A and B are shown apart, each in its own frame.
Chain A
Amino acid sequence: MIRISNIEKTYYGKNESVCALKDISLDIKKSEFVSFIGPSGCGKTTLLKICAGLLDPTEGKIDFDYPNYKIGIVFQNHVLLPWRTVKQNVALSTELSNTNNNIEEMIKLVGLEDFIGSYPFELSGGMKQRVSIARALVSHPSILFMDEPFGSIDELMRDNLNMDLLKIWRKLKPTIFFVTHSISEAVLLSDKIVILPKRPGKIKKILEINLPRPRTISIKETQKFQEYIKCIRKNID
């Protein structure tokens, strides 16, 4: 379990200070898929970075219930090293932490076994993002942080990636901390959706999504799915 308690983040400028996050408290269960949704500038990326240990909060703390937990991050931009092949990119985490994991198996899991020796410039946007997912997962992290990972990918490709992400999650069972600004993507994927409206970055609502699993794309046409979407839209403005 991850327990986020009273997180606050203020950026101090020369003349004014900006409060990006305030009173954020939340529990995330093990292997839960939690999405954070809100307009640009609502502080969702800041919260992700604080939870991933990349930023220090001004107030509050985060407790992890895992012994020696590992994390993986997928950024909005693929952040692949252009001088490395697919395989070498996925191997990065094992090189940095001197562990030995099955790189090829992970590449197969994201469906890129035919591109194992290709360079990033030879891949499409969706494929690059698959590589960065494989790279984040290769050390079998307990928590996977995803910061709008499919934000720059077209709708059709996005559906495919979402389905594959669910498949991978079912198999490896990491806790997923997912930041997005697509409402339907959040409903399609999540167990729980946290709604963060614009300034001052307080949690407005936490919504449990009780749709059956395993989910398929066709779930988007059900009435319940549409109701969740309506509910989120109402709370986001």
Chain B
Amino acid sequence: MYKKKYRLKDFVILVLTFFLFIGTWQLVDFLFNIRKIILPNPLEIFLVIVNNFPYLLDHATITVIESSLGFLLGITLAIITGIIFTYSKLLKKSFYPYAIAFKAVPVIALAPLLIMWLGSGMISKIIMAAIICYFPVLVGTVKGFSVVIQDYKDLFKSFSASKWKIFYKLKIPTSLPYIFPSLKISATFAVVGATIAEFTGASKGIGYIIVNSSYYLETTMMFAAIIMISIVGLLLFYLIDYIEKKIVFWEAND
């Protein structure tokens, strides 16, 4: 009961700071009369979002589809390779260091290449999002599958458990608390990846709107698009967060 009250208070504080920020912005704009092309005020941005909502939503949907498919592709490959690495020391020794090194490469620099190879359709964006999602989840998976504690192994051994049963009754659940945080990182990265690829060459998507509006100096529309894409990123993050709390329920309670 007390906890619930406390949470409500926290929420109220968050909402207040939000309105304080928006209010200050609006006030500064009013007092100094900043040009709309440099910095539009919150009310103007809000009106642009409302008036162009179907248009923004259409493009946001494209970005959401690209990011989600890229995310699913990237994490699937990452989890599979992560598991292979934990079962083959040789493969891990030969490839994992490269994977770690590749993580340091600014993958964003690959966007023009991908557009050149795969065209300006959705595929290049999906692949970009997949590449950017791959590495955090690979590291999380390798970590998650290597933490199994000796006592647990001994316990399963004492029941003469098969390797397969150890894998899905012990190793998979043990790895989940390590994989989920990397999924949350990747969920937001996926949106970044798709948007960057849209900057480089696209005729659809939120990234396209941002670049296109910049050509026409439509700053207000750029802000509207940025807000839309931030909402998409947040929604994906909280979706994974929600799934994590449902699946890895024991971590939050420990």
Interface size class of B (residues with CB under 8 A): 20 to 34
Q: Chain A contacts of B250 at CB under 8 A?
A: 82-83, 119-121
Chain A interface residue count, Cβ-Cβ cutoff 8 angstroms = 24
Contact B158 A52, beta carbon cutoff 8 Å: yes
Q: Chain A contacts of B36 at CB under 8 A?
A: none
With A119-B250, A121-B253 known as contacts, the answer to whether A49 contacts B160 (CB < 8 A) is no
* Identity of the chain A residue whose Cβ is nearest the Cβ of B250 in the assembled complex: A82
Smallest Cβ distance from B156 to chain A, in angstroms? 7
Q: Chain B contacts of A54 at CB under 8 A?
A: 154, 157-158
* Identity of the chain B residue whose Cβ is nearest the Cβ of A82 in the assembled complex: B250
Q: Chain A contacts of B165 at CB under 8 A?
A: 95-96
Contact A96 B160, beta carbon cutoff 8 Å: yes
Q: Chain B contacts of A82 at CB under 8 A?
A: 250-251, 254
Smallest Cβ distance from B132 to chain A, in angstroms? 30
With A75-B154, A121-B254 known as contacts, the answer to whether A81 contacts B170 (CB < 8 A) is yes
Smallest Cβ distance from B128 to chain A, in angstroms? 35
* Identity of the chain A residue whose Cβ is nearest the Cβ of B251 in the assembled complex: A82
Contact A71 B158, beta carbon cutoff 8 Å: yes
Residues facing A in B124-165 (CB within 8 A) are 151-152, 154-162, 165
Q: Chain B contacts of A97 at CB under 8 A?
A: 159-160
For B154, B157, B249, B254, the residue with the greatest tally of chain A CB atoms inside 10 Å of its CB is B154
For B159, B251, B254, the residue with the greatest tally of chain A CB atoms inside 10 Å of its CB is B159
Partner of A92, one of B159, B162, B254: B159
Give chain A's interface residues, CB within 8 Å of chain B. Answer: 49, 52-54, 71-73, 75, 77, 79, 81-83, 92-93, 95-97, 119-122, 139, 145
Beyond contacts A83-B173, A121-B253: 5 other A-B pairs, Cβ-Cβ < 8 A, are: A52-B158, A81-B152, A83-B249, A95-B169, A120-B250
Q: Can you give 12 A-B contacts (C-beta < 8 A)? A: A52-B154, A52-B158, A54-B157, A73-B158, A75-B154, A92-B169, A95-B169, A96-B156, A96-B162, A96-B165, A119-B250, A121-B250
